[in-house]
């Protein structure tokens, strides 16, 4: 079953559109795209890089290490050298905090 875990206030995403949160020992990257919120695993599927340190361009996050890209809405790997999708998590805003739904 899905458990909703509180993370950050949406204001934490204002500057870069992306921020990291640690939920139950798992690092998550949270994103703001056109007033909607999304979350993926923070670890790039290509190597040891934090997607929260990457560059968000629209709905694409560019990994800071080799500039591969993922769609933050679907987790799909869309730009080389990334080929493996990153896990996504549902996000909802409640009581002023973004909550991430985790198994
Ligand atoms: Fe992310 Fe290589 S570690 S693209």
Q: Which atom of ligand 1 is closest in space to residue 44's alpha carbon?
A: 1
Q: What is the pLDDT of residue 65?
A: 98
Structure tokens at 63: 């990994």
Distance CA 99, CA 95 (A): 9
Q: Is the CB of 78 under 6 A from ligand 1?
A: no
Mean pLDDT, to the nearest integer, of 98-102?
A: 96
Taking only Cα atoms into account, the Rg of the chain, rounded to an integer number of angstroms, comes to 12
- pTM of the predicted protein model: 0.96
The DSSP result for 43-85, as a single string, is B-SSSS-BGGGSEEETTEEE-TTT--EEETTT--EEETT--SP
Q: What is the pLDDT of residue 103?
A: 86
State which of 29, 41, 80, 81 you would mutate to test the pocket of ligand 1, scoring each by most atoms of that ligand within 8 A of its C-beta: 81
pLDDT tens digits for range 11-70: 999 999 999 999 989 999 999 999 999 999 999 999 999 999 999 999 999 999 999 999
């Amino acid at each position: 079953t899905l458990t909703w875990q509180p993370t950050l206030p949406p204001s934490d995403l204002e500057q870069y559109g992306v921020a990291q949160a640690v939920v139950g020992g798992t690092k998550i990257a949270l994103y703001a795209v056109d007033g909607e919120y999304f979350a993926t695993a923070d670890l790039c599927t290509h190597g040891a890089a934090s997607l929260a340190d990457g560059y968000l361009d629209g709905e694409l996050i560019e990994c800071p290490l080799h500039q591969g890209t993922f769609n933050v809405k679907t987790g799909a790997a869309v730009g080389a050298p990334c080929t493996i999708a990153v896990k996504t998590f549902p996000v909802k805003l409640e009581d002023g905090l973004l909550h991430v739904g985790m198994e």
